[in-house]
Amino acid sequence: MENYVHNIPTKVYFGKGAISHLDEALKPFGKNVLLTYGGGSIKKTGLYDEVMKILNEGGYTVTELSGIDPNPRIESVAKGVALCKEHNIDVVLAVGGGSTIDCSKAICSGFYYEGDDLWHMVKHVKGYKKSLPLVDILTLSATGSDFDGGAVISNMKTNEKLGGSYTYPSVSILDPTYTFTVSKYQTAAGSADIMSHIMEGYFSRTPDSELADGIAETILKSVIRNLPIALKEPDNYSARANLMHAESVACSGIPEYGKKSTGWPCHAMEHELSAYYDITHGVGLAILTPRWMRFILKKDPTCEWRFVRFARNVWGLDGEDEHELALKGIDVLEQFFRGNGIPMTLGELGITDEHFRAMAEHADIGGRLSNAFVPLTADDVVQIYTDCL
Amino acid sequence: MENYVHNIPTKVYFGKGAISHLDEALKPFGKNVLLTYGGGSIKKTGLYDEVMKILNEGGYTVTELSGIDPNPRIESVAKGVALCKEHNIDVVLAVGGGSTIDCSKAICSGFYYEGDDLWHMVKHVKGYKKSLPLVDILTLSATGSDFDGGAVISNMKTNEKLGGSYTYPSVSILDPTYTFTVSKYQTAAGSADIMSHIMEGYFSRTPDSELADGIAETILKSVIRNLPIALKEPDNYSARANLMHAESVACSGIPEYGKKSTGWPCHAMEHELSAYYDITHGVGLAILTPRWMRFILKKDPTCEWRFVRFARNVWGLDGEDEHELALKGIDVLEQFFRGNGIPMTLGELGITDEHFRAMAEHADIGGRLSNAFVPLTADDVVQIYTDCL
């Protein structure tokens, strides 16, 4: 078992009606709020009105930043920082999914960034930064940005999508009923994202971090059980609540405590896909993961025991031939994604091999992939992309 | 699934050599440290010298409070508060097991308590209190006090042992190697305490809080696997690390998120045993738990499904007759405790039925037992105590 550091200061209010804590969450920070959100779905669902009612009754002064895109852009970060400076913002309130929260984290840190070029901050300033406080209300079970300190920001001009550590939310309000209106496609893609966060850490060389592996397997099984229910019955509270509980823990680091770091290779490869083609993150991960699994199992058979454990403990498979069992676990994962409506080839997204070499070279920057569970070269990554076509 | 609030501000450094973070943990709070510990085992193991070297090199002024008992006493709390006031203490550093940390929490809160009578604070002041900062170095895997905000303080004059919420440690240093020297008896009793923290929450009416139940089952299985290894090989790092990881989460509330509250009936009953007879907490819990289980299973057969799940998912038992399976799960739990050297009757501890009625009446105060998983009357509690003789 490896050493770990646990340091998550975020307070979470989880459950139906958790928004009743919004005023007490914001109050300690001040009265000038920057409200951030995406394409306006919160106006359709009534959540925007609910939030504004609480803010108005609490005497807050509200500045708005709307239109934050999936794969949030550096331009939105810059706009948000300018608004915070102009309106003396005390606290940022993000209402939305992971993109809105990620963008808001970069805004909170960008407020104190001393340079002019915020893209330079994204590219070069490592680790947690002095930041404005952030409160969020989650509307999509996917990224886990509500319970981690990271954010991923995109620059479509340079075809770059870069992750980094910014700040933890001070308070996250997680009400599963806000996800009742999420489309089947986004529900499935979000679930693939949750599962990927777990699988990226689960496939590690450490055999004996029992709590971490048990949490990982529990979350995978819970998503496998609840995603089909949520697709069939979008307002099934129990299914939506279990997906939300799973997502908030999946990216927190907790399912990896005590385990050797793995490099999160599918995320490294997927960020390139999103940066070039602006696809849905969870869909890219779902497409890549089984192909990556088959590739590394072939490249390094010493990792087979992990795949056998995955097949047995997550999918409940059994059989005497361990190699067959390992492959079967990967097959059922791919079938699960496809069966829940996720397009499972890059071809279906209109992606060709045109940029595979450039993407592979860039994904490897910093040696992330050379330190992975099974180390990958740029050639390996090109092959994995090709297997996804 | 029920609503929950997550709010654990403690930073944890886990693993071999984690003490290297001690100086950075204390530094933000100031230079006047109250060092608290128990009967002096930390002097025998060399940990005291290691701590003092770091404190001396860091230029800290150290005041000491030693001799904190298991089932820590209100007298130690009072001594600690007086020392903090006299020496302008900035931060308390607890080095020991749950008793030392619990006592230190009450000291940290007692420092700001405005009355003269600290026992009045223990009895009547509910919820988290303004407190001095607390840093701890754990030396026993048992209570989980390093990752929760509660403490249990005893008054042997009034035969009372009372739990309450005080303050969370700011930083906990968890190095499994510090538990290599823990005796077989205390290792087993500590593991019973960990398991009890899980079982108290696991036996709940909520069927669908999947992550909580999965964490609970993982921790139980991990303790069941690692306790016998730690008893046989006291310096087996992996076994000690898994026990320590389990203990830090077991009492945090996390394994109960989303579940109906259960009243923690075995703790209510055990605190009476300790208050009257000053026994080892984990041993009292181990004796009570299987008897409580058999009693409630008989009293309310509608709770049988939980016991069936316990037998299947925790002990890997199988069988068609669900009632038999439920009883078998309880039997193997009792055998597990006995097989690991825990005395499994009150008679072996020299306890008779003399005070059972008074203890039962007191355990029920506040209606805690009437809100339990299966509600218990004072008569029920007398019967459970009697079954333990």
User: Taking all residues of chain B, what is their mean pLDDT, rounded to a whole number?
Assistant: 96
Q: Which CATH number fits domain A184-387: 1.20.1090.10, 2.102.10.10, 1.10.10.10, 2.60.40.10?
A: 1.20.1090.10
Domain range list for chain B: 11-178, 184-387
Per-residue pLDDT band for A367 (boundaries 50, 70, 90) equals confident
Question: Which of B12, B214, B242 is the closest to A218 by Cβ?
Answer: B214
Question: What digits encode the pLDDT tens for the residues B152-167?
Answer: 999 999 999 999 999 9
Q: How far is CA A101 from CA A70, A124, A272, A342, B120, in A?
A: 11, 21, 21, 24, 45
CB–CB contact A4 B14 (8 Å): yes
Cα(B287)–Cα(A92) distance, rounded to whole angstroms? Answer: 52
**Would the pLDDT of B367 be above 80?**
no
Question: Which of A16, A209, A214 is the closest to B215 by Cβ?
Answer: A214
| B4: amino acid identity, one letter | Y
Average pLDDT over residues B10-39: 98
**3-class DSSP assignment, residue B158:** coil
Average pLDDT over residues A355-363: 94
Average pLDDT over residues B320-348: 98
Residues 239-268 of B with CB under 8 A from A: 241-242, 245-246, 249, 257-258
Which chain A residues have a beta carbon less than 8 Å from that of B22? none
Residues 163-222 of B with CB under 8 A from A: 208-211, 213-215, 217-219, 221-222
Cα(A334)–Cα(B316) distance, rounded to whole angstroms? Answer: 29
The DSSP symbol for B68 reads P
Cα(A346)–Cα(A30) distance, rounded to whole angstroms? Answer: 47
pLDDT at site B40:
85
**3-class DSSP assignment, residue B162:** strand
Residue ranges of alpha helices (H) inside A233-280 are: 237-250, 265-277
Q: Any bridge partners for residue A173, and if so which?
A: A13, A137
Average pLDDT over residues B40-47: 94
Query: How deeply is A267 buried, as exposed, middle or buried, from its count of CB atoms within 10 A (0-12, 13-18, 19+)?
Result: buried
Q: How close, in Å, is residue A198 to chain B by CA atoms?
A: 13
Q: How far is CA A245 from CA A151, A189, B5, B103, in A?
A: 20, 16, 12, 34
Cα(A313)–Cα(B218) distance, rounded to whole angstroms? Answer: 12
Cα(A314)–Cα(A147) distance, rounded to whole angstroms? Answer: 24
A264 close to A280: Cβ distance less than 8 angstroms: no
pLDDT at site A156:
92
CB–CB contact A15 B6 (8 Å): no
A129 close to A168: Cβ distance less than 8 angstroms: no
Number of inter-chain CB pairs under 8 A, A vs B: 127
Cα(A198)–Cα(A311) distance, rounded to whole angstroms? Answer: 15
State which residue of chain B sits closest to A213, comparing Cα positions.
B218
Domain range A11-178, CATH architecture: 3-Layer(aba) Sandwich (3.40)
| Prediction ipTM score | 0.96
Average pLDDT over residues B223-250: 98
Question: What digits encode the pLDDT tens for the residues B55-108?
Answer: 999 999 999 999 999 999 999 999 999 999 999 999 999 999 999 999 999 999
Which chain B residues have a beta carbon less than 8 Å from that of A217? 214
Question: What digits encode the pLDDT tens for the residues A307-339?
Answer: 999 999 999 999 999 999 999 999 999 999 999
Q: Which of A273-282, B7-16, B47-56, B102-111 has the lowest mean pLDDT?
A: A273-282
Which chain A residues have a beta carbon less than 8 Å from that of B206? none
| A89: amino acid identity, one letter | I
CA-based angle A312:A315:A316, to the nearest 5? 55
State which residue of chain B sits closest to A226, comparing Cα positions.
B210
Question: What digits encode the pLDDT tens for the residues A9-60?
Answer: 999 999 999 999 999 999 999 999 999 999 989 999 999 999 999 999 999 9
Which chain A residues have a beta carbon less than 8 Å from that of B28? none
Q: How close, in Å, is residue A226 to chain B by CA atoms?
A: 10
A5 close to A165: Cβ distance less than 8 angstroms: no
Q: Any bridge partners for residue A95, and if so which?
A: A137
Average pLDDT over residues B352-370: 88
Question: Which of A10, A14, A213 is the closest to B4 by Cβ?
Answer: A14
Chain centroid to Cα A71, Å, comes to 11
CB–CB contact B12 A7 (8 Å): yes
pLDDT at site A243:
98
H or E segment and range at residue A5: strand A4-6
Nearest CA among A247, A236, A225 for reference residue A177 = A236
A381: Cβ contacts below 8 Å, ≥ 6 apart = A269, A356, A359, A360, A363, A364, A369
Q: How close, in Å, is residue B315 to chain A by CA atoms?
A: 15
For chain B, the distance separating the N- and C-terminal CA atoms, rounded to the nearest angstrom, is: 38
Question: Which of A3, A6, A13 is the closest to B11 by Cβ?
Answer: A6
Question: Which of A218, A249, A258 is the closest to B245 by Cβ?
Answer: A258
Q: Which of A33-37, A155-159, A234-238, B59-63 has the lowest mean pLDDT?
A: A155-159
Characterize A60-91 residue by residue with b for buried, 16 or more Cβ atoms within 10 angstroms of its Cβ, and e for exposed. beebebbebbbbbbbbbbbbbbebbeeeebbb
Query: In this complex, is the C-beta atom of B301 within 8 Å of any C-beta atom belonging to chain A?
Result: no
Pair of tokens at residue B354: 């003399």
State which residue of chain A sits closest to B250, comparing Cα positions.
A211
Cα(B59)–Cα(B90) distance, rounded to whole angstroms? Answer: 14
Residue ranges of alpha helices (H) inside chain A are: 22-26, 41-45, 47-57, 74-86, 98-110, 118-124, 184-202, 210-232, 237-250, 265-277, 281-299, 304-309, 322-339, 356-363, 378-387
Per-residue pLDDT band for B127 (boundaries 50, 70, 90) equals confident
| A148: amino acid identity, one letter | D
State which residue of chain B sits closest to A220, comparing Cα positions.
B211
Chain centroid to Cα A36, Å, comes to 18
CB–CB contact A15 B4 (8 Å): yes
Task: Choose from A211, A225, A256 for mutation: most chain B CBs within 10 A.
Answer: A211
Question: What digits encode the pLDDT tens for the residues A172-201?
Answer: 999 999 999 999 999 999 999 999 999 999
Cα(A201)–Cα(B101) distance, rounded to whole angstroms? Answer: 33
User: Taking all residues of chain A, what is their mean pLDDT, rounded to a whole number?
Assistant: 96
Question: Which of A3, A8, A16 is the closest to B15 by Cβ?
Answer: A3
**Would the pLDDT of B368 be above 90?**
no
Residues 19-78 of A with CB under 8 A from B: none
Characterize B181-203 residue by residue with b for buried, 16 or more Cβ atoms within 10 angstroms of its Cβ, and e for exposed. bbeebbbbbbbbbbbbbbbbbbb
Cα(A23)–Cα(A30) distance, rounded to whole angstroms? Answer: 11
CB–CB contact B211 A217 (8 Å): no
CB–CB contact A214 B214 (8 Å): yes
pLDDT at site B364:
75
Per-residue pLDDT band for B214 (boundaries 50, 70, 90) equals very high
Q: How close, in Å, is residue A312 to chain B by CA atoms?
A: 14
CB–CB contact B14 A257 (8 Å): yes
CB–CB contact A14 B7 (8 Å): no
Question: Which of A6, A208, A218 is the closest to B211 by Cβ?
Answer: A218
Pair of tokens at residue A71: 């794969």
CB–CB contact B1 A18 (8 Å): no
Q: Any bridge partners for residue B134, and if so which?
A: B92
Cα(B320)–Cα(A106) distance, rounded to whole angstroms? Answer: 56
Which chain B residues have a beta carbon less than 8 Å from that of A215? 211, 214-215, 218
A84 close to A107: Cβ distance less than 8 angstroms: yes
Per-residue pLDDT band for A366 (boundaries 50, 70, 90) equals low
**Would the pLDDT of B366 be above 70?**
no
Average pLDDT over residues A129-146: 97
DSSP A272-327: HHHHHH---HHHHHHHHHHHHHHHHHHH-GGGHHHHHHIIIIIT----S-HHHHHH
Cα(A131)–Cα(A112) distance, rounded to whole angstroms? Answer: 6
Placement of tokens 């697709």 in the chain: A231
